[in-house]
Amino acid sequence: MNNRKLFAFIPLALFILLGVFLWIGLSLDPRELPSKLAEEQRPVPAFQLPSLTEPNRILTPDDLKGEVALLNVWATWCPTCKEEHGFLNRLARDEGVTIYGINYKDEPGKAREWLRRYLNPYALVILDEQGSLGLDMGVYGAPETYVLDTQGAVRYRHVGAVDAEVWKTLKQVMVQVEQESAQ
Amino acid sequence: MIRFVQMLLLLLPLSAYATIDAYEFSNQENEKRFHELTHELRCPKCQNQNIADSDAPLATDLRREVHRMLESGESNDEIADFMVTRYGDFVLYRPRVNETTWLLWYGPFVLLGVGILVVVLISRNRRQGKVEATEKPMTGSGYKASEGLSTGEADRLNTLLQRDSDQ
């Protein structure tokens, strides 16, 4: 008889379990994709692309080594990039953060004009006109910002604008990576 | 008359938008595989669309990559790997069978098995219950104290049953 009573509670237990899963599902953001590069701490994929600011110079992943830095994917057609640009300027100027840029599927003329008008927070800007580097990095929505370690490996990815709130997380990751490489 | 013509003109589609890229295939097999692959790969930008249906620039790039890789003789697995290393397992509409997806692939069969087991158990219980219920009156010896009843209760039940059948 006791067993029977317990059986009667199985539907309730299943319902609660389902409810818990659905509840967790509510707080997940399906647009957030995992970055294999960051998960496996892989280096930035191989590339040989010109610099936006010095068109005769060819940049490679080696140019991104040496410092814990941010790698920011941007384009002039991307409104959110404009939104975060001021914040990136502040980071580069006031916090002394090294920021590399990837100018993603953009017109170089417009991009150079943009940097003239809104100032240039980038130590280097890789000109990825065809989007090949972006494709290899798994970029699916500009702006995206990556944290690179001193070896030029990807440690973290953020999709969307960088603001004060996001910077807290990025800074935390950068400090941690910095400590690791100091050891 | 003019109004009628105007109305007819309204029926003309002004322009037809669709994702039609002109891709050349070296053979029909490649073309078939291209359609299969682009229908099974999910667009990372515009979710819930495959890259064949999506108009997003990213989907166009991915279709171009799929085409390029097909024509350079890469296998479906290699192309899927290429996508997964960039965008994660998310891009596969048909998830791979591995430790993390075992529950997804085999869970329904396990549930089905459990369901069948429950049905079998319940029906067996019920049949047994029925057999017992039909057996008891057949013996005709009345209820005994051993059948979950105390001696007093059994006596009382038998008396009551006796009285009913007397009437």
Per-residue pLDDT of A44-88, as tens digits, reads 888 899 998 888 899 899 988 888 999 999 999 999 999 999 999
Among A34, A131, A137, select the one facing B61 at the smallest CB separation.
Answer: A131
> Does any domain span residue B6?
no
| B80, B94 contact by CB (below 8 A) | no
Mean pLDDT of A117-122: 91
pLDDT of residue B109: 95
Return the structure tokens found at B73.
């003789």
Among all residues of chain B, which has the CA nearest to that of A132? Answer: B61
* Partners of residue B86 in chain A, C-beta under 8 Å: 36, 135-138
Confidence of residue A147 (pLDDT cuts 50, 70, 90): very high
Domain that holds residue B155: 101-166
How far, in Å, CA of A179 to CA of B19, rounded?
49
**Residue B118 vs residue A4, higher pLDDT:** B118
The alpha carbon of residue B111 is apart from the nearest alpha carbon of chain A, in Å, by 13
pLDDT of residue A89: 92
> Does any domain span residue B87?
yes
Does B91 lie in the same domain as B114?
A: no
Give the mean pLDDT of chain A: 88
Interface residues from chain B to A (CB-CB < 8 Å): 44-45, 47, 57-58, 61-62, 65, 84-88, 90
pTM for the structure as a whole: 0.69
Does B107 lie in the same domain as B84?
A: no
Does B120 lie in the same domain as B63?
A: no
Instruction: State whether residue B73 is helix, strand or coil.
Output: coil
CATH number reported for the structural domain that contains residue A150 in this entry: 3.40.30.10
Nearest to B40 by CA among B63, B61, B18, B22: B63
> Does any domain span residue B29?
yes
What is the total count of domains within chain A? 1
Does B73 lie in the same domain as B49?
A: yes
Q: Does A16 touch chain B (CB under 8 A)?
A: no
Is there a contact between B87 and A105 if contact means CB atoms under 8 Å apart? no
What is the total count of domains within chain B? 2
ipTM of the complex: 0.73
| A171, A161 contact by CB (below 8 A) | no
Domain that holds residue A144: 35-182
**Which phi and psi (to 5°) does residue B29 adopt?**
-60, -45
Residue B131 vs residues B37, B127, B146: alpha-carbon distances, Å: 59, 6, 18
Does B108 lie in the same domain as B76?
A: no
> Does any domain span residue A14?
no
> Does any domain span residue A24?
no
> Per residue in B41-89, pLDDT tens?
888 888 788 888 888 888 888 898 899 898 888 888 889 888 888 888 8
Does B90 lie in the same domain as B123?
A: no
> Does any domain span residue B10?
no
Does B126 lie in the same domain as B82?
A: no
Does B77 lie in the same domain as B121?
A: no
> Does any domain span residue A29?
no
**Rounded percentage of chain A residues whose pLDDT exceeds 70:** 99
Q: State the angle between helix axes of B28-40 and B76-87 in degrees (0 to 180), rounded to the nearest 10.
A: 30
